[in-house]
A and B are shown apart, each in its own frame.
Chain A
Amino acid sequence: MSRSADALLDGPVSDLAAAVRSRTVRAADVVEASLARVHLASDRLGAFLHVAGAEARRAAEEVDRRAAAGDALPLAGVPLAVKDNINVAGLPSTAGSRLLEGFVAPDDATCVARLVRAGAVVVAKTNCDEFGMGSSNENSGFRPVRNPWDLTRVPGGSSGGSAAAVAAGAVPLALGTDTGGSVRQPAALCGLAGWKPTYGRVSRYGLIAFASSFDQAGALARTVADAALAFALMSGVDARDSTTLATPVPDVLGGLGGTIAGTRIGLLAEAETAEGGLHPDVAASFEATAAALRSAGATVRRVSVPRVSMAVPVYYLTATAEASSNLARFDGVRYGARKGGATLSELYRTTRSTGFGPEVKRRILLGTFALSSGYHDAYYGRAQKVRALLARDFAAAFGEVDAILCPTSPEPAFRLGAKTGDPLSMYLADVFTVPPSLAGLPAVSVPSGFSADGLPIGMQFVGPADSEPLLFRLARAVEAAAGVTGRRPPGPVT
Chain B
Amino acid sequence: MKIDRDLVAKVARLAALELSPGEETELSGQLTRIVEHFEALRAVPENLLAGAPDAPAAPLRADAAEGGSPGRLVESNAPEFAHGHFVVPRVVSRD
With A343-B93, A365-B11, A369-B3 known as contacts, the answer to whether A350 contacts B18 (CB < 8 A) is yes
Complex Cα gap A343–B95 (Å): 7
Map CB proximity to B onto A297-320 as digits: 1 under 8 Å, 0 otherwise. 000000000010110011011000
Contact of A365 among B31, B48, B89, B91 (CB under 8 A): B31
Given contacts A368-B11, A369-B11, A386-B52, contact A423 B17 (CB under 8 A): no
Q: Quick check: B17 and A353 within 8 Å, CB to CB? A: yes
User: Which residues does chain B contribute within 8 Å of A353, judged by CB atoms?
Assistant: 17-19
Nearest-CB distance from B46 to chain A (Å)?
Answer: 10
A316 engages B17 (CB within 8 Å)? no
Residues of A within 8 A of B70 (CB): 106
Closest to A353 in B: B18
**CB nearest to B88 among chain A residues:** A333
B42 to chain A, nearest CB (A): 8
- Quick check: B77 and A352 within 8 Å, CB to CB? no
Number of interface residues of A (CB under 8 A): 57
A313 nearest CB across to chain B (Å): 4
Quick one: which of A213, A310, A316, A324 contacts B15, CB cutoff 8 A?
Answer: A324
Pick the residue among A239, A316, A388 that contacts B38 (CB under 8 A). A316
Which of these, A309, A310, A344, A392, contacts B89 with CB under 8 Å?
A344
Establish whether residues B37 and A313, one from each chain, have CB atoms under 8 Å apart when the complex forms. yes
Q: How far is the CB of A455 from chain B (nearest CB, A)?
A: 27
Q: Is the CB of A365 within 8 A of B27?
A: yes
* Residue B82 lies at the interface, judged by CB distance under 8 Å to chain A: no
Taking a contact as CB atoms closer than 8 A, the residue among A338, A344, A361, A366 that contacts B91 in the complex is A344
A184 within 8 A of B: no
Q: Say how far A87's CB is from chain B's closest CB, in angstroms.
A: 11
The size class of the interface chain B forms with chain A is: 35 or more
The number of inter-chain residue pairs (CB within 8 angstroms) is 133
**A residues less than 8 Å from B23 (CB atoms):** 361
Chain A 366-382 per-residue mask, 1 if CB under 8 angstroms from chain B, else 0: 10110010000001001
**Which residues 320-371 of A have a CB within 8 angstroms of B?**
324, 328, 331-333, 337-338, 341, 343-350, 352-353, 356, 361-362, 364-366, 368-369
What's the least CB distance linking B34 to chain A, in Å? 5
Query: How far is B8's CA from A197's CA once the two chains are assembled, in angstroms?
Result: 36
Beta-carbon contact of A372 and B18 below 8 Å: no
B55 touching A344, Cβ below 8 Å: no
Given contacts A353-B19, A364-B15, contact A239 B61 (CB under 8 A): yes
Q: Is there a chain A Cβ closer than 8 Å to B49's Cβ?
A: yes
Contact partner of B41 (CB less than 8 A), chosen from A104, A349, A386, is A386
Minimum C-beta distance from B40 to chain A (A):
6
Question: Is B67 part of the contact surface with A, judged by Cβ < 8 Å?
Answer: no
Do B34 and A427 touch across chains, with their CB atoms under 8 A apart? Answer: yes
A90 close to B (CB within 8 Å) = yes
Shortest Cβ distance from B13 into chain A, in angstroms?
Answer: 9
Can you pick out 23 interface pairs between chain A and chain B where the beta carbons lie within 8 Å of each other? A103-B77, A104-B73, A105-B73, A239-B61, A310-B44, A313-B37, A324-B15, A331-B16, A337-B79, A343-B93, A343-B94, A352-B18, A361-B17, A368-B14, A368-B15, A386-B44, A388-B52, A388-B53, A389-B44, A389-B49, A389-B52, A423-B30, A424-B34
Interface residues of B (CB under 8 A from A): 3, 7-8, 10-12, 14-19, 23, 27, 30-31, 33-35, 37-38, 40-42, 44, 48-49, 52-55, 58-61, 70-71, 73-74, 76-77, 79, 88-91, 93-95
Top 9 A-B residue pairs of the complex, sorted by shortest distance between their CB atoms: A313-B38, A385-B52, A388-B52, A353-B18, A106-B73, A348-B16, A349-B18, A343-B95, A368-B15
